[in-house]
Amino acid sequence: MQDIPPQPDPQPDPATLAFARHDHSHCAGDTLARAEAVAAERGARLTPVRRRALEILLEAHRAMGAYEVLDRLAADGFGHQPPVAYRALEFLVEHGLAHRIRRLNAFAACMHPGQDHAPVFLICRACDSVAEAAGEPVRAALDTAAAAVGFTVERANIEALGLCPACTQGAAA
């Protein structure tokens, strides 16, 4: 998922979650299955709304605003009011099944539920795509910096704005 194609196609979606091409239907289904396993393991109740909210994020495969998720939930027969979406999303974030991207006021399904809980988000300012990259070393450096002043890190948001591979090429050309 991290390899960069030499000639990337134009973005198929305005905000895909990984820059490289991949079998999306497979990755979504697979991730959902792993998310279910993680939830079961943690004793977290993945109720219908919550599960559907996660599916919506996985299907879209991009960062989505809470109201956008809400619209889809409502269309599927769930509640129509903001708290419905916010609570489901909060649950997913709480249990590491989704992430909140504050720079975008948006949420995205976690692509590595249960394993990689130090994600960094790479947001392309040109094409608005968003990638979730592994950030263990970044998190380790953050923990060190915090420890130096006596601070204990519990949760972290690490978000970068810049240019994705495709747009870097475009800018150079």
Partner DNA sequence: TTATTTATGTTATAGCGTAACAGGTCAAGA
Partner DNA sequence: TCTTGACCTGTTACGCTATAACATAAATAA
By CB under 7 A, is residue 82 in contact with DNA?
yes
Q: Of DNA, a second copy, none, which one does residue 150 interact with (CB within 5 to 8 Å by kind)?
A: a second copy
Q: Tell me: does residue 173 bind a second copy (CB under 8 A).
A: no
**Angle at alpha carbon of residue 104, lines to 112 and 18, rounded to 5°:** 35
Q: Is 78 left (phi over 0), alpha (psi -120 to 50) or beta?
A: beta
Residue 78 burial (CB count, 10 A): 17
> Cα 7 vs. chain centroid, distance in angstroms?
25
CB atoms within 10 A of CB 121: 24
What mask, x for binding DNA by CB under 7 A, covers residues 110 to 149? ----------------------------------------
The site string for a second copy over 18-57 (x = CB under 8 A, - otherwise) reads: -xx-------------------------------------
- Count of chain residues binding DNA (CB under 7 A): 23
Nearer to DNA, 24 or 87 (CB): 87
Q: d(Cα 144, Cα 22) in Å, to the nearest integer?
A: 35
Residues 38 and 90: their CA atoms lie apart, in Å, by 16
Tally of residues, the chain: 173
Under the binding rule (CB under 7 A), the answer on residue 78 touching DNA is: yes
Closest to a second copy by CB, 40 or 140: 140
Q: Is 79 in the site for DNA (CB under 7 A)?
A: yes
Point out which residues bind DNA (CB under 7 A).
45, 47-50, 65-67, 78-84, 86-88, 90-91, 102, 105-106
